Structure 1
Amino acid sequence: LSIFPEKAGIFGAIVGTVYLMLIVVPVTLVLGVATAIYLEEYAHKGKIAKLIRINISNLASVPSVIFGMLGLTVFARLMNLGSSILAGGLTMSLLVLPIVVVSSQEALRAVPSYLKEASYAMGAGKWTTLYKVVLPVALPSILTGAILAMSRAIGETAPLVVLGVPTLLLKIPEGIMDNFTTMPIQIYYWTLDAVLTPEYANLAAATIIVLLAVLLLMNLSAILIRNKFQKKF
C-alpha cells in the first residue's frame, strides 16, 4: 500500500478480492441455483420459459464490459454506491449469474429420470423428491460449475475498470461500502505504470503468479469435488 514500487504490495488487492467474493458467492449461488430449479422443475414448458432459457444462455456470452456499463449505471450512479465493494460485488454477480444458472440447469437435467419416478412411486411429493433425490445427485456438478464461475469473477478486469475501481489504495477496506481494488486491477495498472517505472513490471509479474495459483487451485478443487462426489448411475 504505497506509491513507491519498493514499498508496494498486493495485500490490499487480496483483501479487496476476498471481500468481493464474499458478496459474489452467496448472491450468485442463491439466485443462480434457485432460478435453475424453477426453470427445470416448476416452470411450464411453454414459449415463455423457452425464451427465458435462451436469453439466459445468451447472457452467458455477453462481453464482460457490458456488465461493467450496467453496474456503473445501476449500482454506482442510480443506487449511489460509487465504486464500493458492494457495487463491485453486485456487478460481478450479474456477470457470472448466467453461467451458474446454465451449469445448474445442465446438472439438474443430468439426474436420471428413473430416480425421480421411483421417489414419486414411494409417495414422495415434488419438493421432497427435489430435496432428497435430485439435489444430492446434481450437487457435485452444481458446485463444479459454481467454482468455475467464481474463477472467472476473480480473474475479470473490464467490469471493474468501467466501474471506476481505483488502483492506488492506501487504506485496507473494512466494510462493503469502502473503496477497494483487486488483483487483476492491480496487475492492469502496474503493467501500465511499468512503461515509466520499470520496477512495477516485477510487481505485476509477481501478482500474476499469485492470481494464477489461486485460479489453478480453484479449478483443481472443482475437479476433485466432481470426481469425489459424482455418482454413476
Structure 2
Amino acid sequence: MMTNKRRIIDFTLRFLIYICSLFSVLLLIGIIVYVLVKGMSTISISFLTSVTSVLKGTVGIAGNIVNTIIIILITMVIAIPIGVGSAIYLNEYATPGKVVTVIEYATETLTGIPSIIFGLFGMMFFGERLGLGYCLLTGSLTLIIMVLPLITRNTQEALKTVPDSYRNGAYGLGSGKWYMIRTILLPSAMPGIITGAILAIGRIVGESAALLFTAGSAKMLPKGIKGLMAKPFQSGGTLTIQMYLSATSEGDFDTAFGIAVVLLIVVLAINLVTKALTKHFDVTRRE
C-alpha cells in the first residue's frame, strides 16, 4: 500500500511539473507570436534606416537604434573593467571578513533596487549636481551603477568555479599572483564573465524607467563624425523609450509593436550568442 501511495504521489507531482513547464513554454510562444503578428507588418528597410519626420512623411527608428548602441558601448566599456576588477579583488585579494561581507551585501542590495530609483538618483546626481543634464552620458552613468552588481556577482561565481588546483599549480611553477590571474584564472572563468556581460547588455537594452529620467527622448540621427562624437552629450531616446512614448503619448501602436519586434529579436539574439560563446569557451577550456 505504501508503494502504491508513493507511485500515485510521484505521478501527481510529475504531472504538475509537466503542466507548469508546458504553461511556461506556451506563455513564451504566445507572447512571441502575438508581438510578431502585431508588429511584423510595420518592419521594413525604411522603418529601420530612417527617422520619424512629419515633413518627409516617414516613420523610423534609426535614431533610437543609434542611441541604444551608444548607451550600450559607453556603459559596457566602463562597467566591465570595474565589475571584473571588483570581483577579482573580492575573490582573490580581499581577506574574508566584515569588509568583504559589507561589500557583497551592498552589491546584492543594489541588484534589488527598482530601476526608477536609479533613474531618480542619476537625474539628481549626474544630471543636476554634475551638470550633465538630460543626455546619453547621464543615462549610461546611471546604467553603470545598475549593471555593476550583475557583472560583479557573475564574475565572482565564475572565479569560484575554477579549481584551486589551477592556482596551486601556477604557484608551484613559480608564477606570480597577477600572472596567474591573467593567464590561468580569467581564461578559465571566461564563460561566466561573458555570460554576465551579455546579461548586462540585455538589461541595458530592455531598460526604460531609469532612462526616462536621465537620457531624454530625442530620436534624431547624428550628422557626420562630429555629430556622432557629440551625441553622448545630447538627449537621446533608446528603443524602449520610443516604444513607451509611441504607445502612450502618441497612441501609435503600430510603431510600438514594430519596436517590440526589434527588441524581441535582439533579446533572442543575445540569448543565442550567450549560449554559443559559453559553449565555445567551455570546449576551448577542456582542450
TM-score, structure 2 as length reference: 0.75
More helix by share: 2
Of 144, 149, 152, 1:101 maps to 152
Kindly report the root-mean-square deviation, in angstroms, between the aligned alpha carbons of the 2 structures.
Answer: 1.8
1:86 partnered with 2:153: no
Of 160, 169, 182, 2:219 maps to 169
Larger Rg: 2
| TM-fit CA distance, 1:171 | 4.8
1:2 partnered with 2:52: yes
* CA distance 1:138–1:82, change in 2 (3 Å): same
Structure 1: which amino acid aligns with 2:133?
G
Of 174, 177, 184, 1:123 maps to 174
Could you report, residue by residue, the CA deviation over 1:56-104 in whole angstroms, capped at 9, with x for unpaired residues? Answer: 1121121111110111111110111111111111111111111000101
Q: How many residues align?
A: 228
The CA distance in 1 between the partners of 2:119 and 2:140, in whole Å, is 11
The CA distance in 1 between the partners of 2:198 and 2:221, in whole Å, is 29
Of 228, 232, 235, 1:179 maps to 235
TM-score, structure 1 as length reference: 0.92
Contact 2:94 2:100 in 1 (8 A): yes
| TM-fit CA distance, 1:32 | 0.4
Could you report, residue by residue, the CA deviation over 1:151-186 in whole angstroms, capped at 9, with x for unpaired residues? Answer: 1111100001122612x5345362211211100000
Q: Which runs of 5+ in 1 are unaligned?
A: none
Structure 1 residues 82-231: aligned runs within 5 Å: 82-163=133-214, 165-166=216-217, 168-172=218-222, 174=228, 175=230, 176-195=232-251, 200-230=252-282, 231=285
Equivalent residue, structure 2, for 1:33: 84
Percent identity of paired positions between Structure 1 and Structure 2: 34
The CA distance in 2 between the partners of 1:112 and 1:100, in whole Å, is 21
The CA distance in 2 between the partners of 1:139 and 1:78, in whole Å, is 38
* CA distance 1:162–1:178, change in 2 (3 Å): closer
1:48 partnered with 2:99: yes
Q: Which of 1 and 2 has higher RCO (CA within 8 Å, sep 6+)?
A: 1
* CA distance 1:66–1:97, change in 2 (3 Å): same
Equivalent residue, structure 1, for 2:125: 74
Q: Which runs of 5+ in 2 are unaligned?
A: 1-50
